[in-house]
Structure 1
Amino acid sequence: MAAPDTDGVVILVEDDPDLRLLTTRWLEKAGWDVEPVESGEALFDVLPTTIPDCVCLDLGLPGMSGMETLHRLRRTHPRLPVVILTADREVDTVVEAMQGGAYDYLPKPLDRTRLETVVRNAVERHGMALKIAGLEQASTTTDEYAGMLGRSPVMRALFRQVDRVASSEVTVLLRGESGAGKELVARAIHDQGPRARGPFVALNCAAVAETLQEAELFGHEKGAFTGADRRRAGRFEQADGGTLFLDEVAELSASLQAKLLRVLQERSFHRIGGAEEIRVDIRIVAASHRDLASEVAAGRFREDLFFRLAVFEMDVPPLRARGDDVLLLARRFLAQHGGEPPPRLDDAVVALFRRHRWPGNVRELENAVQRALVVCRDGLVRLEDLPPRIREAAAAGTDGPGEEPGAPAGAGAEGAGGPLSMEELERRALVEALERCDGNVAEVVRQLGIGRTTVYRKLKKYGLR
């Protein structure tokens, strides 16, 4: 049977090792990347490291039953098609599964042709639903999406990415300059996803002293250290059932990076001074204005933690790359902070806003507007109302830093022939991991802490397989 027209990722949940191996081979030969797991618990362990297009789910699982797994998937991944595999031919069981949100069911023993046909249809339906959602987003006339404002092509593309990744559990790494709005993007991912009713907890790692980082993340018991006069829940505990946003994650100390990696792998931790193991159900979104691949190459950030965080990477564009979004945002800030009716922008201010490079991004723009509102007269913001720094940069013709618009902060680590691309850094990391593990891909998966299909896809991409 011909392979699908487009790549797709299928997670196979089957406790029988022989059937799991056979079904995996069938699906892989049909053209899909397959992530085989043995239980419902293992399924939810791999979901933060992959974005599946379909789940094939055995109902007769040990531990968390197949039906329990299905109901939880419907809550966490309402758009993801689930194909039930069952040896139970009782009508009531099939009806319960279909009413519980299954896409289709296949009786055991499995028929290979029927399996490939049903999975193909499920993957294609999922892809079509995503395309329709993307087209609806692209054709919308509003300039606002999930609390973000913008009509520029780069922001439309970002909105589509958020819509794609929000419905999954995959860990997201946001890259962008300070003030570009990374926390807004993280909150949009939370608000547009199945965890929207849970807490959204944000922590700026750069704002926490190194000696307090562990307590801030994981909490502490009463008497754990001087000044700990009561038990305190950390950010991980506070985010249980929701999303934890780790901003400026590159600023974590080396010891905290190691502890964070362990918690991401095990989804459990201990408060400082405590013996109780605390398990949490959270989604992680991380962000940094630094290029983490370069930080890895320089030895300042753990390679295994980088791979664990950078499952799905998104670039948040700087304000200078967003065209007339600067005027949309400026007028929004005038309306928010300026009363009714809001002041207008003088033509000279409009021209300067378009020309200025905004090194501080949206945060700098909002501060400039707020300053102008304090001193403007007659409902009009003029050049003299703007902060001197912006006026002086315009007069000198040095509106901000000199890199090209949209260039990532700190892009590329230095190699012998100049800066290395993100792809080359990633390829080198995989080569080194393969060498350490003597070519054992399963060990590479374990060491890097990312999904099997993700590793195989990257090995194929870089010609290492």
Structure 2
Amino acid sequence: MYKPPVSQTPPESFPGEDGGSADPTWQQYYRSLPHPSTDLAQTLRRRHPPASLPSLVAQAQLQAEGMTMAPMPAAQCHEAMRWIARALDHPQIDTPLRLFLLRLAANLDFSQQPGPEIGARIALIRQLTTDDMNPAFRLIAPRAELRWSLNQRNVAAIERIIEEGWAICRPHPESDQALEWLVHHFGVAVERKHFWEADRMLANLEAQHQRVTERIGFDLTYGKINLLLSKGLGDEAIAALDEAGMRDDDTRRVYAHLLSGHITAVRQLINRFHAGAPYGQFYRGLLGLAEQDYGLVRDCVRRLRQHSPPRTAAWDWRGEDLLALHLSLNRKRCDEAHYLLSHMDPGADFGDCHGEWMRYYYHRGQFSEAHHHWQQLQRRGPHLVKQSLAWASDLGAVDLARIMEPNLSNEVKTKQPSLTGNQTRTLIGSSTEMNEARRLLDRFAPRPETVLLIGETGCGKEIAARILHRQGCPRGAPFIAVNCAALTESLAEAELFGHVRGAFTGANRSAPGLIHQARGGVLFLDEIASTSPRIQGMLLRLLETGDYRPIGSSQTQNLEARIIAATHCDLEELCLQGQFRQDLQFRLQRLTIQLPPLREHRQDISELATHFIHQFGLQRPPIIGDDLLAAWLDYAWPGNARELRNEIEGMLVLYGDEEVLHRRHSGIFRSRVSSARLPVVTPRRPSVPANSPPVPPGGRKVLQRREQILAMLRRDGRITRAMIIHELGCAPNTATADLKELEDQGLIQRQVQGANLRLSSFILSPAPPSDERLRKPL
């Protein structure tokens, strides 16, 4: 294909019949590509002959632009495409004009139901684009591909294209292209219901309102209105439409009235749509859902499918899919709902389907998964929660209570903490160290070999293990986490390998071990350096041969789970000291990922802190003051990201209503000084002296658990009840009783006083008494 060279400066001779004597209007029009004004196009159409290149290009623009934001009749779309084809066939057309016309054609494709031709068009645009072109031309392909990826709900492609666009704009941060790409990024955040991110970018855009051109301002106005609609703020969206003078935008206006409950206005607007128009049928279906008229919904879905073009090879999201999904959920047809959800949101991570996933899992009886998506809804704010529940006529008050408190359900739970207890599902940070860790995780995820995660406490080893599980295992595969430091030698074998009936006194029935429970998924061995030599030998045989025998059984069983191990210790040093088997170390270190401590990537502290603040779920989260951020950057962070999370949690409980968090609000700098790098600590298994004092009711198990709580405090500096439940796997009432007893004995004290113990955090007493007080009977 012919590709003439394109420079960033306009040529001396402009394309067209007049050559170098082209009129000034045509020169001005050409210089303003790929976004010329329609006024110049009107002038060119009047001045030039109908078959000339300037007239054809201007006519194509006038036919195509201004109609792509609203439903465009097919006849008008075909007419505009005809003018674009005539201009593209002109013998004197050059690359900039060709790219401009292809941009118009791509916009027209999206005004209708995009089909496979859009992919070919994007490929042609990329073929014509070169690196020495103006960024405005280089952004044409990413902009079109971004819209196509949003339509296909392809999260990986969306994130890749966003980064590609910023790579083009980064050398020109003050350019119109950088501002325009920020508007596109803002639109993506709105589509994915990442409201906190959208609000932040909107504030950034409004701070630069002097630089916003008319064209960018038009897109920004639509983005603001879409944000209001996504939040379910119908009345505010109607006011914004009126203020912007968009009184003819019936599609957004009818949805805003529907959100506000103005049924009469909705019916009037729907009647204004062309008979049989897909938008009219879609909003009739939404009205049927609001009024629970499922016969009307079924009729609308049938009509939409009759007039829709065939599916492309890749799934493209359509309005009838949403109607059919709500219809299936309201009628509790789980197979139909799963088919639609698995195509509309295959990774369950796009952001706008958490309400539908929650309903689906609830009807399937998978309450922990339903609770996870309920938490994701809450993270996106009360607006999306209210909007999602408005469509959920299949859920009553009792159903919502079971979703919000999955312990009320009869679901059988395994002993490992679920994903719902670990809200952070990815490694946060853009530093070189974190990018390298993510690269290794992506590389190791699809492989079956054992992975060893090395890092100090609080670096995110379990998060990394869950990433390997999520990316490398089928959806729904188990993830079994085992805290090896909390297992005594006598219990470890039975817990890991299981036992048969009669294997030992009290074994009245057979019990599968954690290895068996992890079949098809991941067995995560946390703090593996704390295991005894005997258990290390068993693990070595398990990894070498892939088989094991439950206690008391003569039958060998196969390992059908992937092993991921983690430690904060230097295994080589432990091998030299004789505390860890070197052959097991060699077996574990085939694939190793080193997670850096927070002090080695301090540039990520701001991003991590912002993530933790928004996880807390405040309606108006505070921002981080410069003095606090500077203090954090100088702090050693012995507890790493976990300590930062606990620090922010305590600050938000006390000062969440402040607009800005300052250094004086920090608990670290009130009670602790910056500490140096922690040395490698040799793990010690819990032990009880032979001449120990009387133990509290419940036996030595209670004593050991409370010793573990004190060890957590020495390690992290501050803990909450939720952290104890998550790490030790104990019941909430048990954690409450332990905290109250330790507080009564003067071993710990509350740093955050809350009416409910769940809202309190605890630290060690400034001058803690001897641990012998812990051993006194209650």
Alignment of 1:268-417 (within 5 A): 268-376=547-655, 377-387=657-667, 389-394=668-673, 399-402=674-677, 409=680
The residue number in structure 1 matching 2:542 is: 263
Does the 8 A contact of 1:327 with 1:353 survive in 2? no
Does the 8 A contact of 1:243 with 1:285 survive in 2? yes
Match of 2:468 among 186, 189, 199: 189
Residues paired across the two proteins, number: 270
SS at match of 1:202: strand
Counterpart residue identity of residue 431, structure 2 = S
Q: Deviations over 1:59-115 (max 9, x none)?
A: xxxxxxxxxxxxxxxxxxxxxxxxxxxxxxxxxxxxxxxxxxxxxxxxxxxxxxxxx
Match of 2:524 among 240, 245, 254: 245
C-alpha displacement of 1:196? 5.2
Specify whether residues 196 and 294 from structure 1 end up closer, same or farther in structure 2 by C-alpha distance, changes over 3 A only: farther
Counterpart residue identity of residue 676, structure 2 = P
State the distance in 1 between where 2:582 and 2:435 align. Answer: 32
The residue number in structure 2 matching 1:77 is: none
Relative CO higher for 1 or 2, CA cutoff 8 Å, sep ≥ 6?
1
Give percent identity, aligned residues only. 39
State the distance in 2 between where 1:361 and 1:337 align. Answer: 19
Q: TM-score, normalised by structure 2?
A: 0.33
SS at match of 2:566: strand
In the alignment, is residue 236 of structure 1 matched against residue 511 of structure 2?
no
C-alpha displacement of 1:154? 0.5
Unaligned runs of 5+ in 2: 1-156, 167-184, 186-196, 198-348, 350-423, 683-778
State the distance in 1 between where 2:500 and 2:545 align. Answer: 21
SS at match of 2:538: helix
Q: Deviations over 1:20-58 (max 9, x none)?
A: xxxxxxxxxxxxxxxxxxxxxxxxxxxxxxxxxxxxxxx
C-alpha displacement of 1:307? 1.0
State the distance in 2 between where 1:152 and 1:317 align. Answer: 11
C-alpha displacement of 1:139? 5.3
Does the 8 A contact of 1:149 with 1:328 survive in 2? yes
Kindly name which structure, 1 or 2, has the bigger radius of gyration based on alpha carbons.
Answer: 2
Does the 8 A contact of 1:201 with 1:244 survive in 2? yes
Counterpart residue identity of residue 661, structure 2 = V
Alignment of 1:67-78 (within 5 A): none
Counterpart residue identity of residue 155, structure 1 = M
Does the 8 A contact of 1:182 with 1:316 survive in 2? yes
Match of 2:427 among 144, 148, 151: 148
Unaligned runs of 5+ in 1: 1-132, 412-465
State the distance in 2 between where 1:379 and 1:360 align. Answer: 27
Task: Please say which of residues 327-336 and 363-372 is displaced more in the overlay.
Answer: 327-336
C-alpha displacement of 1:281? 1.5
State the distance in 1 between where 2:616 and 2:451 align. Answer: 33
The residue number in structure 2 matching 1:176 is: 455
Counterpart residue identity of residue 443, structure 2 = R
Match of 1:213 among 487, 492, 514: 492
Specify whether residues 380 and 223 from structure 1 end up closer, same or farther in structure 2 by C-alpha distance, changes over 3 A only: farther
State the distance in 2 between where 1:233 and 1:200 align. Answer: 15
The structure with the largest strand share of the pair is 1
SS at match of 2:467: helix
Counterpart residue identity of residue 168, structure 1 = R
State the distance in 2 between where 1:252 and 1:209 align. Answer: 8
SS at match of 2:592: strand
Does the 8 A contact of 1:195 with 1:243 survive in 2? no
Specify whether residues 279 and 402 from structure 1 end up closer, same or farther in structure 2 by C-alpha distance, changes over 3 A only: closer
Counterpart residue identity of residue 662, structure 2 = R
C-alpha displacement of 1:175? 0.8
RMSD of equivalent CA atoms? 3.0
C-alpha displacement of 1:255? 0.5
Does the 8 A contact of 1:224 with 1:273 survive in 2? yes
State the distance in 2 between where 1:361 and 1:223 align. Answer: 46
